[in-house]
Structure 1
Amino acid sequence: MRKTLAIILIFVGMFLVVIGILAQFYAPDRLEKTPLDVHNVTHLSGTAELGGESVPIKITSTTVTDSDKSTDNVVVWNNASCVVKDEDDVPDCVSTDDPGNRLISASTDQFATDRVNGLAVADATKYLGADATPHVGLVNKWPFNAQKKTYPYWDDTVGAAVDAVYQSTKDLDGIEVYVYKLTVDKAPASIAEGIDGLYSANTEFWVEPRTGDILNQIEDQVRTTTDGSPVLSIQAEFTDKQQKDSIASSHDNLSKLDLLEKWVPLVGYIAGALCLIAGILLTLSTRRRDEGSSNGTREKAAVA
């Protein structure tokens, strides 16, 4: 019985140590990858200066993964964005013939990114087709385990990657976030359909570094004609509800990562080591006991 118990303890100990090793060294490679079943809707609110009039606006961006086109290393995304005047209980988006003339802009985009570092892949046409618009840099999230450094971030209006510079570290409802700032200064761009002009922007991204998720985004955009006449300016950021939802989701994701990357290895190593030690000690104790019994039997036989 003691031998059997010792074998069981050693087996369980080895099993737990292996689980700890896998959780520490193998799980991160599997967990720290963008899922292939994302359906994310973000909401921003603010104001816009349009035609000399200040109006409340809301911005909705829907980003969905295309699992059929994605691979183990690359994820394909479809995005639709809409900016509308926040009037008369307007829906997230309206058509160009909206009776209230509430549509400011609407666009769609398709891109492919690396599932770990978040960067747009160089051979996007392989996943999106020959007519796809090439993207460069980060597009919709930061990499896992983001660093305090400058990252290239895709700006669709400019049609190029712009530096997103690390600014500071802040606390957002108990979550440490890195703040990055993207600055564009009077860049030539298409400011409206068929109209070229100048585009300026100051955008802050509040990023949870372990997952690379954006928990808040603050935008300040100005579009003018080439001679500097104002056409459109927008100031907006994540709605309060969007921030609360993003923070809650981040807390949940971080808890899962901590469980699998910290607590499972720790418990595996400690519990496994205790089981191994107990099994080895029990084996040695059983062996000494057996040797003692054997010596006693031999002594009795010699006396007889």
Structure 2
Amino acid sequence: MRRSTWILTGFAALLLVLAAVARFAVLPAVHQVPDDVNENPQYEGTATILNQQALASGDLANAFLVDVPVLMDRHIKVTATDGDTAVFSDSRVLLGPDGQELTSSEEHWAVDRVSLEARPAPEGVDASPHEGLVIGFPLEPEKHDYRWWDHTTGTEVDAVYTGTEKRDGRTVYGYTIHAEGPMADSGELPQALPRDAVGGILASVPGSTVDPATLPEMVPLSYAATTDLVLWIDSGTGTIMDGSHGQNIMATTQDGTALFPIADVRVTATDETKENQADTAKEISLALTLLGVVAPLSLIGIALLLLALAAWGVRKRRTQPPATPDEPTTPQPESVTTA
């Protein structure tokens, strides 16, 4: 075999190895939650909120902000990674009219970088314990129910698969989530209020049937929460393409009698957020296609072409007739000149 054939075969083998590396090593390493996630989805809608400032000042006539327009400003950021684990910061600020901050919260979650299931937090990093999904869906979601962590009640519930639709040319899967129960952590809310204060608040609650006279002089409070989510997840990347969020937090007596709402929030993703999420899904999908399909197939195609050229060269040499050796020439006697 000639040197050129060896070179062509060697290059072809190298390209086949590179195709396998791109598909089975580089792609899995890239197809995971990156360490620079920094997203700012926003949701708009209405809310009825207990006005904590009015309550603190004794202005019970203005104890509630009722059906005010609100914007939920959410900031999702990866703050740490360790191998297959990513730690997310998930902060939410509910803004009322004129940008007034009504409520705020921040949680930290440690999740698997592909399945987004719960994982132990890296050493030295704080994250809230949980089970199931909490910040998003797997990068390759499937058409079935998942388990979801509702951090308000501290319970694991079903994220129920509801069907498939098209959004912005992308195939998306729908899931609904419903959770209800006592609040897991109500430490920042009043744990008790004077009966007169509770009576003043109840007077501004439409349809309230609670008689303040039946309450103790100091009313111990408990809190119950109901959460409803509707999420549409891109089938190829796990990106949340669209969603709505509803949550009601109700102050109750210790025996469970409902008194008054602390917050009743109903919001949906803004058009800008939906457009940004669709663009993100398309960019991720294109990158995965180039790396996982186009690049390996291109390398394999070039490798096959090189192997075909090498085989053609070998075949050509085999079909050529052997070279005929040159016939020996008979030396002619030198002529003798006589005087």
TM-score (norm 1): 0.83
Q: Deviations over 1:105-135 (max 9, x none)?
A: 11121221111211121x3373524xx4312
Match of 1:107 in 2: 105
Q: Distance in 2 between matches of 1:107 and 1:225?
A: 19
Q: CA contact under 8 A between 1:177 and 1:208: conserved in structure 2? A: yes
Q: CA contact under 8 A between 1:10 and 1:280: conserved in structure 2? A: no
Match of 1:56 in 2: 69
Counterparts of residues 69-218 of structure 1 (less than 5 Å): 70-85=81-96, 87-88=97-98, 90=99, 102-121=100-119, 123-124=120-121, 126-129=123-126, 132-185=127-180, 187-189=181-183, 193-194=189-190, 196-218=222-244
Paired residue secondary structure (2:69): strand
Q: CA contact under 8 A between 1:112 and 1:128: conserved in structure 2? A: no
Q: Distance in 2 between matches of 1:284 and 1:73?
A: 51
Q: Distance in 2 between matches of 1:126 and 1:188?
A: 31
Q: Quote the offset at 1:5 in angstroms.
A: 4.5
Counterparts of residues 154-303 of structure 1 (less than 5 Å): 154-185=149-180, 187-189=181-183, 193-194=189-190, 196-226=222-252, 227-228=257-258, 229-289=260-320, 292-294=321-323, 296-297=324-325
Amino acid at match of 2:270: T
Amino acid at match of 2:155: A
Structure number with larger C-alpha Rg: 2
Query: What percent identity do the matched residue pairs reach?
Result: 23
Q: CA contact under 8 A between 1:111 and 1:128: conserved in structure 2? A: no
5+ residue gaps, structure 1, are 91-101
Counterparts of residues 3-14 of structure 1 (less than 5 Å): 3=2, 5-14=4-13
Q: Distance in 2 between matches of 1:247 and 1:279?
A: 46
TM-score (norm 2): 0.75
Q: CA contact under 8 A between 1:16 and 1:269: conserved in structure 2? A: yes
Amino acid at match of 1:26: A
Aligned residue among 65, 73, 82 for 2:78: 65
5+ residue gaps, structure 2, are 50-63, 192-221, 331-339
Paired residue secondary structure (2:41): strand
Q: CA contact under 8 A between 1:183 and 1:200: conserved in structure 2? A: yes
How large is the Cα RMSD of the aligned pairs?
Answer: 2.5
* Aligned length in residues: 279
Paired residue secondary structure (2:310): helix
Paired residue secondary structure (2:285): helix
Q: CA contact under 8 A between 1:110 and 1:128: conserved in structure 2? A: no
Match of 2:55 in 1: none
Q: Distance in 2 between matches of 1:303 and 1:219?
A: 102
Q: CA contact under 8 A between 1:61 and 1:82: conserved in structure 2? A: yes
Amino acid at match of 2:189: E
Q: Deviations over 1:44-90 (max 9, x none)?
A: 111112326111101111122223xx2121112223211111x22x2
